[in-house]
Protein backbone atom coordinates (compact mmCIF):
# COMPACT_ATOMS: atom_id res chain seq x y z
CA UNK A 1 0.00 0.00 0.00
CA UNK A 2 2.85 2.39 0.78
CA UNK A 3 4.39 1.69 -2.63
CA UNK A 4 1.07 2.19 -4.42
CA UNK A 5 0.39 5.42 -2.53
CA UNK A 6 3.84 6.81 -3.34
CA UNK A 7 3.80 5.84 -7.01
CA UNK A 8 0.02 6.28 -7.52
CA UNK A 9 -0.01 3.06 -9.54
CA UNK A 10 -3.66 2.88 -8.50
CA UNK A 11 -5.88 5.80 -7.50
CA UNK A 12 -5.24 6.67 -3.84
CA UNK A 13 -8.80 5.77 -2.81
CA UNK A 14 -8.62 2.35 -4.54
CA UNK A 15 -5.37 1.56 -2.73
CA UNK A 16 -7.07 2.60 0.51
CA UNK A 17 -9.67 -0.14 0.01
CA UNK A 18 -7.10 -2.95 -0.30
CA UNK A 19 -7.33 -3.85 3.45
CA UNK A 20 -10.99 -4.84 2.88
CA UNK A 21 -9.80 -7.35 0.28
CA UNK A 22 -6.49 -8.51 1.73
CA UNK A 23 -6.76 -8.49 5.53
CA UNK A 24 -9.61 -11.04 5.70
CA UNK A 25 -8.22 -13.27 2.92
CA UNK A 26 -4.71 -13.30 4.39
CA UNK A 27 -5.97 -14.00 7.90
CA UNK A 28 -4.83 -10.67 9.37
CA UNK A 29 -8.23 -9.34 10.48
CA UNK A 30 -11.85 -10.41 9.96
CA UNK A 31 -13.91 -8.11 7.75
CA UNK A 32 -16.17 -7.12 10.68
CA UNK A 33 -13.11 -5.47 12.26
CA UNK A 34 -11.74 -3.95 9.04
CA UNK A 35 -14.85 -2.35 7.56
CA UNK A 36 -15.86 -0.20 10.56
CA UNK A 37 -12.48 1.54 10.33
CA UNK A 38 -13.67 3.31 7.17
CA UNK A 39 -16.24 5.45 8.95
CA UNK A 40 -15.09 6.17 12.46
CA UNK A 41 -16.26 9.30 14.29
CA UNK A 42 -13.10 11.02 13.05
CA UNK A 43 -14.39 10.64 9.49
CA UNK A 44 -17.67 12.27 10.53
CA UNK A 45 -15.76 15.24 11.94
CA UNK A 46 -13.83 15.55 8.67
CA UNK A 47 -17.05 15.24 6.66
CA UNK A 48 -18.70 18.00 8.71
CA UNK A 49 -15.76 20.28 7.99
CA UNK A 50 -15.99 19.57 4.26
CA UNK A 51 -19.76 20.19 4.21
CA UNK A 52 -19.33 23.51 6.05
CA UNK A 53 -16.66 24.49 3.51
CA UNK A 54 -19.08 23.63 0.68
CA UNK A 55 -21.68 25.99 2.16
CA UNK A 56 -19.13 28.80 2.50
CA UNK A 57 -18.04 28.37 -1.13
CA UNK A 58 -21.65 28.07 -2.34
CA UNK A 59 -22.49 31.60 -1.16
CA UNK A 60 -19.10 33.22 -1.88
CA UNK A 61 -18.37 34.11 1.72
CA UNK A 62 -14.71 33.13 1.31
CA UNK A 63 -14.20 35.66 -1.50
CA UNK A 64 -15.74 38.44 0.59
CA UNK A 65 -13.38 37.61 3.47
CA UNK A 66 -10.36 37.58 1.14
CA UNK A 67 -11.11 40.93 -0.48
CA UNK A 68 -11.89 42.55 2.88
CA UNK A 69 -8.50 41.53 4.27
CA UNK A 70 -6.73 42.89 1.17
CA UNK A 71 -8.59 46.19 1.54
CA UNK A 72 -7.32 46.44 5.11
CA UNK A 73 -3.63 45.61 4.53
CA UNK A 74 -3.15 48.01 1.59
CA UNK A 75 -1.35 47.56 -1.72
CA UNK A 76 2.35 47.91 -0.88
CA UNK A 77 3.86 44.63 -2.20
CA UNK A 78 5.26 43.48 1.16
CA UNK A 79 1.96 44.16 2.90
CA UNK A 80 -0.02 42.58 0.08
CA UNK A 81 2.09 39.43 0.40
CA UNK A 82 1.31 39.44 4.13
CA UNK A 83 -2.39 39.99 3.37
CA UNK A 84 -2.39 37.15 0.85
CA UNK A 85 -0.71 34.81 3.34
CA UNK A 86 -3.00 35.78 6.23
CA UNK A 87 -6.11 35.30 4.09
CA UNK A 88 -4.94 32.00 2.58
CA UNK A 89 -3.96 30.61 5.99
CA UNK A 90 -7.23 31.74 7.63
CA UNK A 91 -9.38 30.21 4.88
CA UNK A 92 -7.43 26.95 4.73
CA UNK A 93 -8.10 26.41 8.43
CA UNK A 94 -11.68 25.64 7.38
CA UNK A 95 -11.63 25.09 3.60
CA UNK A 96 -9.39 22.64 1.79
CA UNK A 97 -5.90 23.89 0.95
CA UNK A 98 -6.60 23.22 -2.73
CA UNK A 99 -9.83 25.25 -2.83
CA UNK A 100 -8.16 28.13 -0.99
CA UNK A 101 -5.26 28.26 -3.45
CA UNK A 102 -7.55 27.99 -6.47
CA UNK A 103 -9.62 30.93 -5.22
CA UNK A 104 -6.74 33.21 -4.16
CA UNK A 105 -4.55 32.92 -7.27
CA UNK A 106 -6.96 34.75 -9.64
CA UNK A 107 -7.31 37.56 -7.08
CA UNK A 108 -3.52 37.80 -6.82
CA UNK A 109 -3.10 37.91 -10.60
CA UNK A 110 -5.65 40.71 -10.98
CA UNK A 111 -3.86 42.84 -8.36
CA UNK A 112 -0.44 42.14 -9.89
CA UNK A 113 -1.57 43.17 -13.35
CA UNK A 114 -2.82 46.44 -11.89
CA UNK A 115 0.51 47.05 -10.15
CA UNK A 116 2.96 45.95 -12.83
CA UNK A 117 1.04 45.55 -16.09
CA UNK A 118 1.02 42.46 -18.29
CA UNK A 119 3.30 39.64 -17.14
CA UNK A 120 4.54 38.74 -20.62
CA UNK A 121 5.59 42.35 -21.23
CA UNK A 122 7.39 42.31 -17.90
CA UNK A 123 9.29 39.16 -18.91
CA UNK A 124 10.28 40.74 -22.22
CA UNK A 125 11.59 43.84 -20.46
CA UNK A 126 13.79 41.61 -18.30
CA UNK A 127 15.23 39.92 -21.38
CA UNK A 128 15.94 43.05 -23.47
CA UNK A 129 19.64 43.24 -24.31
CA UNK A 130 19.80 46.02 -26.91
CA UNK A 131 17.59 48.95 -27.70
CA UNK A 132 17.70 49.45 -31.49
CA UNK A 133 16.80 53.13 -31.23
CA UNK A 134 19.14 53.81 -28.32
CA UNK A 135 16.19 54.74 -26.19
CA UNK A 136 13.86 52.90 -23.88
CA UNK A 137 10.57 54.09 -22.58
CA UNK A 138 10.72 54.71 -18.88
CA UNK A 139 8.49 52.47 -16.76
CA UNK A 140 5.60 53.97 -14.85
CA UNK A 141 7.24 53.13 -11.54
CA UNK A 142 10.52 55.08 -11.98
CA UNK A 143 11.23 58.24 -10.05
CA UNK A 144 10.38 61.48 -11.91
CA UNK A 145 13.93 62.77 -11.47
CA UNK A 146 15.29 59.65 -13.16
CA UNK A 147 13.28 60.43 -16.29
CA UNK A 148 15.43 63.49 -16.95
CA UNK A 149 18.81 62.02 -16.03
CA UNK A 150 18.82 58.51 -17.40
CA UNK A 151 19.34 57.98 -21.11
CA UNK A 152 20.68 55.26 -23.38
CA UNK A 153 22.35 52.37 -21.56
CA UNK A 154 21.75 53.80 -18.09
CA UNK A 155 18.06 54.10 -18.75
CA UNK A 156 17.93 50.60 -20.26
CA UNK A 157 19.74 49.08 -17.30
CA UNK A 158 17.49 50.91 -14.84
CA UNK A 159 14.39 49.74 -16.66
CA UNK A 160 15.64 46.19 -16.76
CA UNK A 161 16.41 46.23 -13.03
CA UNK A 162 12.97 47.63 -12.28
CA UNK A 163 11.29 44.96 -14.43
CA UNK A 164 13.41 42.23 -12.82
CA UNK A 165 12.40 43.41 -9.34
CA UNK A 166 8.75 43.47 -10.31
CA UNK A 167 8.99 39.96 -11.77
CA UNK A 168 10.49 38.71 -8.48
CA UNK A 169 7.64 40.30 -6.54
CA UNK A 170 5.17 38.61 -8.92
CA UNK A 171 6.75 35.23 -8.17
CA UNK A 172 6.64 36.00 -4.46
CA UNK A 173 2.90 36.62 -4.70
CA UNK A 174 2.26 33.33 -6.48
CA UNK A 175 4.47 31.22 -4.23
CA UNK A 176 3.22 32.61 -0.92
CA UNK A 177 -0.38 31.48 -1.47
CA UNK A 178 0.10 27.67 -1.59
CA UNK A 179 2.67 27.86 1.22
CA UNK A 180 0.31 29.83 3.46
CA UNK A 181 -2.54 27.43 2.65
CA UNK A 182 -0.40 24.47 3.74
CA UNK A 183 0.64 26.25 6.94
CA UNK A 184 -2.92 27.34 7.77
CA UNK A 185 -4.32 23.83 7.39
CA UNK A 186 -2.33 22.67 10.41
CA UNK A 187 -4.12 25.03 12.83
CA UNK A 188 -7.40 23.09 13.13
CA UNK A 189 -8.21 19.39 13.29
CA UNK A 190 -10.45 19.67 10.24
CA UNK A 191 -7.97 21.81 8.30
CA UNK A 192 -6.09 18.89 6.80
CA UNK A 193 -6.46 15.10 6.79
CA UNK A 194 -3.24 14.18 8.71
CA UNK A 195 -4.50 15.98 11.83
CA UNK A 196 -7.57 13.74 11.89
CA UNK A 197 -5.49 10.66 11.20
CA UNK A 198 -3.50 11.47 14.34
CA UNK A 199 -6.74 11.58 16.37
CA UNK A 200 -8.02 8.35 14.83
CA UNK A 201 -4.80 6.43 15.39
CA UNK A 202 -4.49 7.74 18.93
CA UNK A 203 -7.91 6.28 19.68
CA UNK A 204 -6.86 2.99 18.09
CA UNK A 205 -3.49 2.63 19.85
CA UNK A 206 -4.25 4.45 23.10
CA UNK A 207 -8.02 4.26 23.76
CA UNK A 208 -7.66 6.02 27.11
CA UNK A 209 -5.89 9.06 25.66
CA UNK A 210 -8.25 12.02 25.43
CA UNK A 211 -5.71 14.85 25.20
CA UNK A 212 -6.34 15.74 21.56
CA UNK A 213 -9.63 17.27 20.48
CA UNK A 214 -10.59 20.29 18.42
CA UNK A 215 -10.10 22.81 21.23
CA UNK A 216 -6.81 21.51 22.63
CA UNK A 217 -5.32 21.10 19.16
CA UNK A 218 -6.30 24.66 18.23
CA UNK A 219 -4.71 26.10 21.37
CA UNK A 220 -1.46 24.28 20.54
CA UNK A 221 -1.37 24.62 16.74
CA UNK A 222 -2.74 28.14 16.20
CA UNK A 223 0.22 29.94 17.85
CA UNK A 224 2.56 27.65 15.90
CA UNK A 225 0.80 28.63 12.68
CA UNK A 226 1.06 32.36 13.50
CA UNK A 227 4.80 32.13 14.27
CA UNK A 228 5.60 30.08 11.16
CA UNK A 229 3.43 32.32 8.98
CA UNK A 230 5.25 35.44 10.18
CA UNK A 231 8.69 33.86 9.70
CA UNK A 232 7.66 32.60 6.24
CA UNK A 233 6.47 36.10 5.30
CA UNK A 234 9.85 37.57 6.30
CA UNK A 235 11.68 34.94 4.22
CA UNK A 236 9.48 35.21 1.11
CA UNK A 237 9.42 39.01 1.21
CA UNK A 238 13.20 39.14 1.64
CA UNK A 239 13.80 36.64 -1.15
CA UNK A 240 11.42 38.18 -3.68
CA UNK A 241 12.03 41.87 -3.09
CA UNK A 242 9.02 42.70 -0.99
CA UNK A 243 11.03 44.06 1.93
CA UNK A 244 13.39 46.46 0.19
CA UNK A 245 12.85 50.14 0.82
CA UNK A 246 11.57 50.93 -2.66
CA UNK A 247 8.67 48.54 -2.20
CA UNK A 248 7.90 49.10 1.48
CA UNK A 249 8.32 52.81 2.10
CA UNK A 250 5.93 55.35 0.67
CA UNK A 251 7.54 57.52 -2.01
CA UNK A 252 5.92 60.35 -3.85
CA UNK A 253 6.57 58.97 -7.30
CA UNK A 254 4.68 57.53 -10.23
CA UNK A 255 4.43 54.13 -8.52
CA UNK A 256 1.59 55.61 -6.51
CA UNK A 257 -0.54 55.63 -9.66
CA UNK A 258 -0.11 51.88 -10.11
CA UNK A 259 -0.87 51.25 -6.45
CA UNK A 260 -3.98 53.39 -6.68
CA UNK A 261 -5.09 51.31 -9.67
CA UNK A 262 -4.54 48.07 -7.73
CA UNK A 263 -6.50 49.48 -4.80
CA UNK A 264 -9.29 50.39 -7.21
CA UNK A 265 -9.37 46.79 -8.53
CA UNK A 266 -9.80 45.43 -4.99
CA UNK A 267 -12.46 48.02 -4.17
CA UNK A 268 -14.33 47.33 -7.40
CA UNK A 269 -14.33 43.56 -6.86
CA UNK A 270 -15.58 44.07 -3.31
CA UNK A 271 -18.35 46.43 -4.45
CA UNK A 272 -19.50 43.87 -7.02
CA UNK A 273 -20.29 41.51 -4.15
CA UNK A 274 -22.87 43.99 -2.87
CA UNK A 275 -24.06 44.13 0.74
CA UNK A 276 -24.08 40.95 2.83
CA UNK A 277 -27.29 39.10 2.04
CA UNK A 278 -29.36 36.86 4.31
CA UNK A 279 -27.63 33.67 3.13
CA UNK A 280 -24.12 35.00 3.73
CA UNK A 281 -25.12 36.30 7.16
CA UNK A 282 -26.64 32.93 8.05
CA UNK A 283 -23.58 31.00 6.88
CA UNK A 284 -21.36 33.38 8.87
CA UNK A 285 -23.44 32.76 11.99
CA UNK A 286 -23.40 28.97 11.65
CA UNK A 287 -19.69 28.97 10.78
CA UNK A 288 -18.84 30.97 13.93
CA UNK A 289 -21.15 28.75 15.99
CA UNK A 290 -19.48 25.67 14.47
CA UNK A 291 -16.04 26.93 15.50
CA UNK A 292 -17.09 28.06 18.99
CA UNK A 293 -18.91 24.81 19.85
CA UNK A 294 -15.99 22.67 18.66
CA UNK A 295 -13.51 24.80 20.54
CA UNK A 296 -15.43 24.89 23.84
CA UNK A 297 -16.63 21.28 23.97
CA UNK A 298 -13.64 20.12 26.03
CA UNK A 299 -10.71 22.54 25.68
CA UNK A 300 -8.84 20.89 28.61
CA UNK A 301 -7.65 24.12 30.21
CA UNK A 302 -11.22 24.98 31.30
CA UNK A 303 -14.39 22.94 31.77
CA UNK A 304 -16.24 22.54 28.48
CA UNK A 305 -19.95 22.22 27.78
CA UNK A 306 -19.65 18.46 27.21
CA UNK A 307 -20.01 17.98 31.00
CA UNK A 308 -23.73 18.67 30.53
CA UNK A 309 -24.03 15.23 28.90
CA UNK A 310 -23.02 11.70 29.83
CA UNK A 311 -19.25 11.39 29.95
CA UNK A 312 -17.78 10.23 26.64
CA UNK A 313 -21.09 10.45 24.77
CA UNK A 314 -20.67 13.76 22.92
CA UNK A 315 -17.61 14.12 20.69
CA UNK A 316 -16.43 16.69 18.13
CA UNK A 317 -18.12 14.59 15.43
CA UNK A 318 -21.52 14.98 17.13
CA UNK A 319 -21.04 18.74 17.34
CA UNK A 320 -20.07 19.05 13.68
CA UNK A 321 -22.93 16.92 12.36
CA UNK A 322 -25.51 18.86 14.42
CA UNK A 323 -24.44 22.18 12.86
CA UNK A 324 -24.19 20.98 9.26
CA UNK A 325 -27.56 19.22 9.50
CA UNK A 326 -29.19 22.61 10.14
CA UNK A 327 -27.75 23.93 6.84
CA UNK A 328 -29.92 21.52 4.84
CA UNK A 329 -33.21 23.01 6.06
CA UNK A 330 -32.36 26.59 7.11
CA UNK A 331 -33.70 29.00 4.42
CA UNK A 332 -31.30 30.99 2.23
CA UNK A 333 -33.70 33.95 2.01
CA UNK A 334 -35.39 35.82 4.80
CA UNK A 335 -38.77 34.10 5.26
CA UNK A 336 -41.92 36.21 5.03
CA UNK A 337 -44.44 35.83 7.84
CA UNK A 338 -47.22 37.83 6.19
CA UNK A 339 -48.99 34.65 5.07
CA UNK A 340 -49.62 33.82 8.74
CA UNK A 341 -52.10 36.69 8.78
CA UNK A 342 -53.11 36.66 5.11
CA UNK A 343 -53.24 33.23 3.40
CA UNK A 344 -53.27 34.91 -0.02
CA UNK A 345 -50.05 36.88 0.61
CA UNK A 346 -47.04 35.91 -1.48
CA UNK A 347 -44.36 33.94 0.27
CA UNK A 348 -40.60 33.78 -0.33
CA UNK A 349 -39.60 30.66 -2.31
CA UNK A 350 -38.00 28.15 0.01
CA UNK A 351 -34.37 27.31 -0.90
CA UNK A 352 -32.16 25.84 1.86
CA UNK A 353 -28.65 27.09 2.50
CA UNK A 354 -27.21 23.85 1.19
CA UNK A 355 -28.48 21.02 -0.99
CA UNK A 356 -27.28 17.42 -0.93
CA UNK A 357 -26.58 17.64 -4.66
CA UNK A 358 -24.07 20.43 -3.98
CA UNK A 359 -22.44 18.36 -1.24
CA UNK A 360 -22.14 15.36 -3.57
CA UNK A 361 -20.37 17.53 -6.13
CA UNK A 362 -18.03 19.37 -3.76
CA UNK A 363 -16.99 16.89 -1.08
CA UNK A 364 -13.86 14.88 -2.02
CA UNK A 365 -15.20 11.48 -1.06
CA UNK A 366 -11.92 9.84 -2.05
CA UNK A 367 -10.22 11.54 0.91
CA UNK A 368 -12.73 9.99 3.32
CA UNK A 369 -11.89 6.55 1.88
CA UNK A 370 -8.20 7.42 2.19
CA UNK A 371 -8.68 8.25 5.88
CA UNK A 372 -10.48 4.94 6.38
CA UNK A 373 -7.71 3.04 4.60
CA UNK A 374 -5.20 4.61 6.93
CA UNK A 375 -7.17 3.61 10.02
CA UNK A 376 -7.60 0.09 8.65
CA UNK A 377 -3.89 -0.27 7.93
CA UNK A 378 -3.02 1.04 11.39
CA UNK A 379 -5.41 -1.48 12.93
CA UNK A 380 -3.78 -4.28 10.91
CA UNK A 381 -0.29 -3.18 12.00
CA UNK A 382 -1.41 -3.18 15.62
CA UNK A 383 -3.33 -6.48 15.64
CA UNK A 384 -0.73 -8.41 13.63
CA UNK A 385 2.19 -7.25 15.77
CA UNK A 386 3.97 -5.59 12.85
CA UNK A 387 4.17 -2.23 14.62
CA UNK A 388 5.71 -3.86 17.70
CA UNK A 389 8.21 -5.74 15.52
CA UNK A 390 9.29 -2.54 13.75
CA UNK A 391 9.48 -0.72 17.08
CA UNK A 392 11.81 -3.40 18.42
CA UNK A 393 14.25 -2.74 15.60
CA UNK A 394 14.19 0.97 16.41
CA UNK A 395 15.49 0.44 19.95
CA UNK A 396 18.96 1.92 19.15
CA UNK A 397 17.24 5.30 18.70
CA UNK A 398 16.69 5.31 22.48
CA UNK A 399 20.20 6.76 22.76
CA UNK A 400 19.15 9.90 20.83
CA UNK A 401 18.02 12.78 23.09
CA UNK A 402 14.25 13.21 22.68
CA UNK A 403 14.55 16.89 21.67
CA UNK A 404 16.95 15.91 18.88
CA UNK A 405 14.66 13.03 17.91
CA UNK A 406 11.80 15.50 17.41
CA UNK A 407 13.90 17.48 14.90
CA UNK A 408 15.01 14.30 13.10
CA UNK A 409 11.45 12.91 12.88
CA UNK A 410 10.01 16.20 11.62
CA UNK A 411 12.83 16.59 9.06
CA UNK A 412 12.43 13.03 7.78
CA UNK A 413 8.65 13.29 7.43
CA UNK A 414 8.90 16.73 5.77
CA UNK A 415 11.38 15.32 3.22
CA UNK A 416 9.35 12.16 2.56
CA UNK A 417 6.11 14.06 2.02
CA UNK A 418 7.77 16.02 -0.82
CA UNK A 419 7.37 12.86 -2.91
CA UNK A 420 4.16 11.36 -1.50
CA UNK A 421 0.81 12.76 -0.40
CA UNK A 422 0.77 14.04 3.17
CA UNK A 423 -2.13 11.73 4.03
CA UNK A 424 -0.31 8.65 2.75
CA UNK A 425 2.89 9.72 4.51
CA UNK A 426 1.32 10.03 7.95
CA UNK A 427 -0.65 6.79 7.49
CA UNK A 428 2.59 4.94 6.75
CA UNK A 429 4.76 6.35 9.52
CA UNK A 430 2.49 7.20 12.46
CA UNK A 431 2.13 3.59 13.70
CA UNK A 432 5.92 3.18 13.59
CA UNK A 433 6.49 6.46 15.44
CA UNK A 434 3.93 5.50 18.11
CA UNK A 435 5.68 2.19 18.67
CA UNK A 436 9.07 3.93 18.77
CA UNK A 437 7.83 6.27 21.53
CA UNK A 438 6.64 3.31 23.60
CA UNK A 439 9.97 1.50 23.15
CA UNK A 440 12.10 4.47 24.23
CA UNK A 441 9.67 5.45 27.04
CA UNK A 442 8.89 8.90 25.63
CA UNK A 443 5.42 10.48 25.72
CA UNK A 444 3.89 9.30 22.38
CA UNK A 445 2.52 12.77 21.56
CA UNK A 446 6.05 14.19 21.79
CA UNK A 447 6.91 12.26 18.62
CA UNK A 448 3.49 11.94 16.96
CA UNK A 449 2.50 15.63 16.92
CA UNK A 450 5.71 16.84 15.16
CA UNK A 451 5.35 14.07 12.59
CA UNK A 452 1.72 15.05 11.92
CA UNK A 453 2.49 18.74 11.52
CA UNK A 454 5.67 18.08 9.56
CA UNK A 455 3.89 16.10 6.87
CA UNK A 456 2.00 19.27 5.90
CA UNK A 457 5.27 21.13 5.32
CA UNK A 458 5.79 20.11 1.69
CA UNK A 459 7.18 23.22 0.02
CA UNK A 460 9.99 22.21 -2.33
CA UNK A 461 8.39 20.55 -5.35
CA UNK A 462 5.35 21.26 -7.55
CA UNK A 463 4.17 17.65 -7.10
CA UNK A 464 4.41 17.77 -3.30
CA UNK A 465 0.86 19.08 -2.75
CA UNK A 466 -2.11 20.08 -4.94
CA UNK A 467 -1.72 23.77 -3.91
CA UNK A 468 1.91 23.72 -5.12
CA UNK A 469 0.77 22.15 -8.38
CA UNK A 470 -1.93 24.80 -8.93
CA UNK A 471 0.55 27.65 -8.40
CA UNK A 472 3.14 25.99 -10.64
CA UNK A 473 0.52 25.35 -13.35
CA UNK A 474 0.14 29.12 -13.76
CA UNK A 475 3.33 28.90 -15.82
CA UNK A 476 5.03 31.80 -14.02
CA UNK A 477 7.07 29.76 -11.52
CA UNK A 478 10.06 27.51 -12.16
CA UNK A 479 10.99 24.40 -10.21
CA UNK A 480 14.19 26.09 -9.01
CA UNK A 481 12.06 28.91 -7.53
CA UNK A 482 10.12 26.42 -5.42
CA UNK A 483 13.20 24.44 -4.42
CA UNK A 484 15.15 27.57 -3.40
CA UNK A 485 12.25 28.98 -1.39
CA UNK A 486 10.93 25.66 -0.08
CA UNK A 487 14.24 24.35 1.24
CA UNK A 488 14.52 27.21 3.74
CA UNK A 489 10.77 26.98 4.44
CA UNK A 490 11.26 23.35 5.50
CA UNK A 491 14.12 24.31 7.83
CA UNK A 492 12.10 27.16 9.35
CA UNK A 493 9.08 24.85 9.79
CA UNK A 494 11.16 22.19 11.56
CA UNK A 495 12.60 24.79 13.95
CA UNK A 496 9.15 26.25 14.67
CA UNK A 497 7.70 22.80 15.45
CA UNK A 498 10.64 22.05 17.75
CA UNK A 499 10.09 25.37 19.53
CA UNK A 500 6.36 24.66 19.98
CA UNK A 501 6.89 21.14 21.30
CA UNK A 502 9.52 22.18 23.85
CA UNK A 503 7.69 25.24 25.18
CA UNK A 504 3.91 25.53 25.38
CA UNK A 505 3.28 22.04 23.96
CA UNK A 506 5.37 20.53 26.75
CA UNK A 507 3.13 22.01 29.42
CA UNK A 508 -0.19 21.66 27.58
CA UNK A 509 0.07 17.90 27.09
CA UNK A 510 2.35 17.14 30.10
CA UNK A 511 4.99 15.78 27.72
CA UNK A 512 7.73 15.69 30.38
CA UNK A 513 6.27 12.49 31.92
CA UNK A 514 5.41 9.12 30.43
CA UNK A 515 1.60 8.68 30.71
CA UNK A 516 -0.23 5.70 32.21
CA UNK A 517 -2.43 5.33 29.13
CA UNK A 518 0.63 4.61 26.98
CA UNK A 519 1.83 1.66 29.04
CA UNK A 520 1.49 -1.67 27.19
CA UNK A 521 -1.35 -3.77 28.58
CA UNK A 522 0.98 -6.69 29.30
CA UNK A 523 3.63 -4.50 30.90
CA UNK A 524 4.84 -5.58 34.37
CA UNK A 525 7.18 -2.64 34.77
CA UNK A 526 6.31 -0.57 37.83
CA UNK A 527 5.22 2.96 37.19
CA UNK A 528 8.07 4.32 39.29
CA UNK A 529 10.54 2.84 36.80
CA UNK A 530 9.14 4.97 34.01
CA UNK A 531 11.17 8.13 34.20
CA UNK A 532 10.49 11.57 32.82
CA UNK A 533 12.81 12.58 29.99
CA UNK A 534 14.96 15.67 29.78
CA UNK A 535 13.79 17.77 26.86
CA UNK A 536 17.15 19.50 26.66
CA UNK A 537 18.85 16.18 25.98
| pLDDT tens-digit series, residues 279-325 | 999 999 998 898 888 888 887 777 889 889 998 888 888 988 999 99
**b/e burial code for range 15-40 (CB count within 10 A of at least 16 → b):** bbbebbeebbeeebbeeeebbebbeb
Distance CA 178, CA 181 (A): 5
- Give the three-state DSSP class for 163: helix
pLDDT at 182 over 60: yes
Q: What average pLDDT does this structure show over 500-505?
A: 93
pLDDT at 522 over 80: no
Distance CA 324, CA 362 (A): 14
Alpha-helical runs (H) found in 240-331: 245-248, 255-272, 278-296, 316-327
- pLDDT (0 to 100) of residue 254: 52
Contact by Cβ (8 Å): 320, 85: no
pLDDT, one tens digit per residue, over 461-470 is: 887 788 888 8
Q: What average pLDDT does this structure show over 17-33?
A: 92
User: For residue 245, what pLDDT band results from cuts at 50, 70 and 90?
Assistant: very low
pLDDT higher at 447 or 117: 447
Backbone angles phi, psi at 272, to 5 degrees: -60, -25
Distance CA 340, CA 326 (A): 23
Spell out the residues 6+ positions from residue 287 whose beta carbon is closer than 8 angstroms to its own: 52, 55, 56, 61, 94
Q: What average pLDDT does this structure show over 58-63?
A: 84
User: For residue 252, what pLDDT band results from cuts at 50, 70 and 90?
Assistant: very low
User: For residue 231, what pLDDT band results from cuts at 50, 70 and 90?
Assistant: very high
> pTM value?
0.76
Q: What average pLDDT does this structure show over 465-488?
A: 84
Distance CA 175, CA 181 (A): 11
Question: Beta-carbon neighbour count of residue 395 at 10 Å?
Answer: 11
Amino acid sequence: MAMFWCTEALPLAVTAMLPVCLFPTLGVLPSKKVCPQYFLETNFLFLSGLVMASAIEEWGLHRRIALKVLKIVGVKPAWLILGMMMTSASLSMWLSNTATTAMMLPIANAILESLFGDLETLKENCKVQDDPEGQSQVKLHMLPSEKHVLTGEDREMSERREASTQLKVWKGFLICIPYAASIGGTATLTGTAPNLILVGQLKSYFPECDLINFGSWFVFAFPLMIIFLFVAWIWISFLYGGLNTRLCINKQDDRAAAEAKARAVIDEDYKKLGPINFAEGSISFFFILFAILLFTRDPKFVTGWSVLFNKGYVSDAVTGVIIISILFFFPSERPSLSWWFNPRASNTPYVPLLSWKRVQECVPWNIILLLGGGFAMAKGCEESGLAAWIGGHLQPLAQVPPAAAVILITAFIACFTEFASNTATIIIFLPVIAELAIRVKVHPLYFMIPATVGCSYAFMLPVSTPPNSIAFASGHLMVKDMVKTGFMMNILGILCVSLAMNTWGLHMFTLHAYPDWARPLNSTEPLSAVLAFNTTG
